[in-house]
A = this chain, B = another copy of it.
Amino acid sequence: MIDKRVADPAAALHDVADGATVMIGGFGEAGSPIELIHALIDHGASGLTVVNNNTGSGEVGLAALIRAGRVARMICSYPRSANSTVFPELYRSERIELELVPQGTLAERIRAGGAGIPGFYTPTAVGTDLAEGREHREFDGRNHVLEYALTADLALVKARRADPHGNLVYNMTARNFSPLMAMAAATTVVQASEVAANGGIDPEAVVTPGIFVDRVVHIASPAHESDLVRRGITYP
């Protein structure tokens, strides 16, 4: 039987290489795969390029990965949060690079990476600093910028439910970037709150078909970032 389940996060991440590009699902704390991120910290891979909409909060999850010095470069749309100084401090001291991308362009670049589309044109950011030095082209009299696909070596994704084939459904707004990142990464690792038997997800309601998923870890009661931050927890 096809069965993509692995025993634990450490087993799911055993082969991450230094310098890897890692897409991490989530928008703020919604959909953030904290247990996988903590396992990535434990694993020790460094020099990472991380793609996420934000840069984490407090000193857990993504913020902890950044604080541990493992991230050489962030690709994101909004690297600020009310309760974390981790990224700003490293950025101001030039110990981390930032590629700032408008949120919709970031999403579309990741989708393009997963869909085999190497480049596309978008009207977003035309006339702004973020379009400076970029290739422009008019369509129907309107100016657009050429944007390039984003792909990754690894995607870390949090799902509400998975089955052994890797089919996924998500929890409300925790869906966000995860289905796109699952498409765009060479290896997609999922932490799922529930793991159903094969056939346990309605084929009409599958959001991420299993073809985009490589490894599934069962994390029955995932931590909530805001809860850890409130309790003053830091990782490790």
- Chain A: residues with CB nearer than 8 A to chain B? 108, 112, 115-123, 137, 139-140, 142, 144, 148, 169-170, 172, 202-205, 207
Contact = CB atoms under 8 A, between A and B. Distances in A.
22 contacts: A108-B115, A108-B117, A112-B120, A116-B122, A116-B123, A117-B120, A117-B121, A118-B121, A118-B140, A119-B120, A119-B121, A119-B137, A119-B139, A119-B144, A120-B120, A120-B121, A169-B204, A172-B203, A172-B204, A202-B205, A204-B205, A204-B207
Nearest to A115: B108
Nearest to A118: B139
Contact of A117 (B122, B205, B207): B122
Nearest to A120: B120
A202 B207 CA distance: 13
Contacts of A112: 120
A172 to B, nearest CB: 7
A179 to B, nearest CB: 12
Contacts of A120: 112, 117, 119-121
Contacts of A115: 108
A144 B118 contact: yes
Nearest to A144: B118
The 5 nearest A-B residue pairs measured at CB = A118-B139, A120-B120, A205-B205, A119-B121, A117-B120
A107 to B, nearest CB: 10
